[in-house]
Structures are given as C-alpha cells and as structure tokens.
Amino acid sequence: MTRRGWLLFALMSVIWGVPYLLIKVAVEDGVSVPVLVFVRTAVGAAILLPLALRGLRAARLRRHWRPLAAFAALEIIVPWWLLADAERQISSSMTGLLIAASPIIAVLVGRLAGGGERLGGARWTGLAVGLAGVTVLAAPGLRGGDVRSIVEVLLAATCYAIAPLILARRLADVPALPMTTVCLGLAAVLYAVPAALTWPQTVPGGPALVSLAGLAVLCTALAFLVFFALIREAGPARALVFTYVNPAVAVVAGVLLLDEPLTVAVVVAFTLILAGAVLATGRAKATPDESSVGSSVNGTGSGPGRSTAPVRVAAGEAEHPVQDRCGV
C-alpha cells in the first residue's frame, strides 16, 4: 500500500474509533439524544451535499426510495439513537467493543436470510468465540442493572448487520456518495422536531460543543470522504481492515481521556471478539453456484464482515465492491 494509502488507513482507524468517546462527552453534558443525532446528520448532509449534487441528478434515487429508507433507518436513524441513549449509562469503551460484534451478527443474519455460503468449522468456531467475548463483556453490566443499555447497543449492532443485506440486494447500483447524503438528510428531517422539542435551554459546555462538531464534521462528513478515497487508493480488501482497529481505538480513547477502567474482562472480551470476528468472517471456499451470492450477502467478501456490494464510489466512476462500514 502507498504512503497515501497508509495515511488514509490511519485516519479511518481513528475517525471511526472515536465517535463513542464524543457521544459520551456530549450526552454526559446534557445534550439530548435527538439533538445529538440531528446535529450530526444535518451538518454532515450539508457538508456532503455540494459534493454529491452531480451524482444526485444521475442516481435517480426516487425509484429506490423504499430500500433507501430502510437502509437509512437501519444504518443511521435507529442505531445512532440507540447508541447515544445507551451511552448515558455505560462506558464508551464498552459500547465500542459491543458494536465490534456486528460482523459476527452479520454472518448469522446472512445465513438466516438465505445466503448460499455454508459455514465451515473455523467460522462456527469464530461465532462461538465472538459470542463468548460479548458474554464476558456484557454479563457484569447485566447483573449491575445496565440491561437496557447493553440491549440497545446489541440492537444497534444488529441494525448494522442487517443494513448491508439491503445495500447488497436492492441498492447495489446506487452511487455511494449521493446515497449517503440522502440518508443523512432523511435522518435530519426525521429528527428535526424531536430535536427542537428537546433543544437545550442554555448553550452546552465547550467539550460538548466540540464533541458535536467532531461527530458531524469528522466522524460523519469527512469520514465518508476519506473512506471512499481509501477504497480507491487501496482497494476494498485492504481498506476494510481498519474496522478491526476501531474497537481498540474506542477502548484506548475511553481509558486515556475519560478515565474509564481497563479491566481484565475488557481485555479478554476484546481479544475474544476480535478473534471471533476474524474467524467468522474469513473467506470460505464457495461452490460454483454459491460464488455469485455468498460473498455479497453473508458479509464474507473482501473485508472483515460487513456485506459487500458493487457500490459506486462516486457518480461516473468505475464500480468497486465496497463493504458497508462497521462503525458509527
């Protein structure tokens, strides 16, 4: 990979590893969940819109409105609410680690949804190891009364696992940048009224404002632009490896900046979840009649567990098998 590719890779590893930290800072300073999601989506859409205009005219998104709305709901509208609400009670590092189980859930969802690829022994082992890691991490919180928050994060991870099925099956011919802009815009419209009703009476503190700006500008608008650039520079197989680094960034950020505890359970859970994700989402040998569908539905294509689909990086460019991201 080129020097530029490594730079983009490092940026993505951080950019989609720190949202959990920023969400935690914002909600702890009293920013409501609707305001947080509205600011993030509205500002992100506004930044991307000028870059996506040409693609919007060519994409003909109106004919895809049903799957587009479903994808927006599962990728942005529902999980971003769940994550922000959960982080009012649990740590950012725990949230990041639980979300790391999304590739494992994606394999199960893809199989249940009728994917053609069979799961071999190594992948079943990966599923078991990853789920054991989730159990190690979540069990103390469940005993301590954080049931709702942990369930919310796992539901968000499930949303992230299902959304790629829609992307692969119904939106494969839609350019990625216009699609992302429209999804963010739709989420902003839906959150506008709840955000207005819960708008803070006083201006939040500096850390909360910086966190909101970081979520909208860095972790949303810039993140997608860097993501598409990384795909073009390094190809999807190499590019998506950064999703294995995100959980570690989330844990390190929470420990260093928020004084969250780095316990033995966290280290063990991280190791199990990461190992399980690598095993569960590894490329398996497909039979000739399975090869056309297995890699695009089961999350077992060119990267670490989110379903692949031939998504155009930008209008007018060649298509690339781009995986849906694993992150927030």
In a domain? residue 291: no
d(CA 35, CA 27): 10
Per-residue pLDDT band for 3 (boundaries 50, 70, 90) equals: confident
d(CA 290, CA 288): 5
In a domain? residue 289: no
Query: Which amino acid would we find at residue 167?
Result: L
Count up the domains in the chain and report the number.
1
In a domain? residue 278: yes
d(CA 93, CA 100): 11
In a domain? residue 127: yes
Q: The domain containing residue 49 runs over which residues?
A: 3-284+302-323
In a domain? residue 297: no
Residue 287, CB-side half-sphere exposure with 13 Å CA sphere: 8
Cβ partners under 8 Å of residue 277, min gap 6: 100, 101, 103, 104, 126, 130, 244, 304, 305
Asked if the model's pLDDT at residue 189 lies above 90, the reply is yes
Per-residue pLDDT band for 304 (boundaries 50, 70, 90) equals: very low
Whether the Cβ atoms of residue 110 and residue 280 lie closer than 8 Å to each other: no
What confidence tens digit (pLDDT) does each residue in 89-118 have?
999 988 988 888 887 788 778 777 765 556
Q: Mean pLDDT score of the chain, rounded to an integer?
A: 80
In a domain? residue 177: yes
pTM: 0.80
What confidence tens digit (pLDDT) does each residue in 122-140 have?
777 877 887 888 888 777 7
In a domain? residue 293: no
In a domain? residue 179: yes
In this structure, of 43-47, 69-73, 322-326, the range with the lowest mean pLDDT score is 322-326
